[in-house]
Every structure is written in structure tokens, then in C-alpha cells.
Amino acid sequence: MTVQDDLITTETETDTATGTATDTDADAVTGARVEVELTFPVAPERLWDVITDVSRIGEFSPECKAAGWLDAAAPGPRAGARFQARNEFPGGHSVPVSCLVTEAERPHTYAWVVLDPQDDPKAPSSAWRYELLPGAEPGTTLARHCFTHGSGDSGARKAAQGDPAALRERLDVLRANMTATLTAMAAAAAA
């Protein structure tokens, strides 16, 4: 198992006239990233079918408890398809999210963005991606699951504004949840 996460840190410069520190990168949240890479004894086609069945996400994810395609006449998985999901957090906090599929190439890639209230796919709150590659051993799949925080509004952004350590905590939770979700999906695909 390989796990990687990147936290973009804010650099400061000192104003020589006033002696005060100023942010050179005022947005430490955009671009924050978590990547999980795991190998499973399952064919990529089977894993891709489970990953892209958004109606089943509640079976696998510790956080995303439900989802469904918004266009019943032409449901995904396909680029341009939209789905609605519901994330649940400790303390009973529940958040609905709107998502737009940006890439769907069976059995290799599946990606989507989570839209913020502005509904602009170019400035999402986050981007998610699965890549499925042949594993080192025959009959295995290397699955890479990646989260990247976008420039849009999100709970993580609001929390980090009040407490910069909150972003690191959120990335740690995401890493654990992504690992658990991907492991459960692979088990379902292998069954």
C-alpha cells in the first residue's frame, strides 16, 4: 500500500517597512491532495463497475452515505453526467453535494468534481479520481484513488480559516476513508 498526501503550505515574507509578515500564498487549501494506491486480486473491469455504480457508494464509504444519478434518462457513468450525493460527518452533520463526471473510460479512469454553491466546474470544491492499472502480478489491479481540493467553497476551507491544523486533520480523515472505501469496493468486486 502506498499513501501520499500533500499539504500546500503558506509562505510568508516580512514587509521591511513595517516588519510584519504577509502571506505570499493566501490560499493554503487549494491544491491540498491525498492519494491512496492499493493492489487487489480483481480484474479492472469488475472494480471499475463497482466504483462507477454511485448508487452503491453507501455500502462502502464511511462518509458518503448515498448517491444517485440526476439524469434518469441518460445516467452515468459518462463524462458530463451529474449525480447528487450525501456526506455524513461526526456529530450528525449531513451535507448534500452535487457532482459532475469529468472522465469515464472503462476500465481505466473515473473522475468527477464536487461543485460548490456557485456550480462552476472550473472552480469546484474538490476533484476526485480513480485510476485502474494492471498490477505487478497477473490477475491483479493497481488502484489509485486521488482527492485534490479545488478553489471552490467547502467545509474544509471554512475550518482551515479558523484553525490551520484542521486541514491536516481533514486530509488524515480522507486518507483513512479513501483506503476503507477502496478496500470495500475491491472486496465487492471480487465476490
Which strand ranges, in their side-by-side order, compose the sheet holding 93-105? 2-6, 33-40, 141-149, 126-134, 109-115, 93-105, 82-89, 64-69
**Structural domains of the chain ordered from first start:** 33-190 (3.30.530.20)
Q: Please report which confidence band the pLDDT of residue 73 belongs to, taking 50, 70 and 90 as the band edges.
A: confident
pLDDT band at 126 (very low <50, low <70, confident <90, very high): very high
* pLDDT average, residue stretch 98-125: 96
Give yes or no for residue 104 having a pLDDT over 90: yes
Instruction: Tell me the three cell numbers of residue 40.
Output: 487487489
| Model pTM score | 0.85
Q: What percent of the chain has pLDDT over 70?
A: 86
Residue 27: what pLDDT? 80
pLDDT at 187 over 90: yes
Q: What average pLDDT does the segment 34-51 reach?
A: 97
Q: What is the pLDDT of residue 3?
A: 44
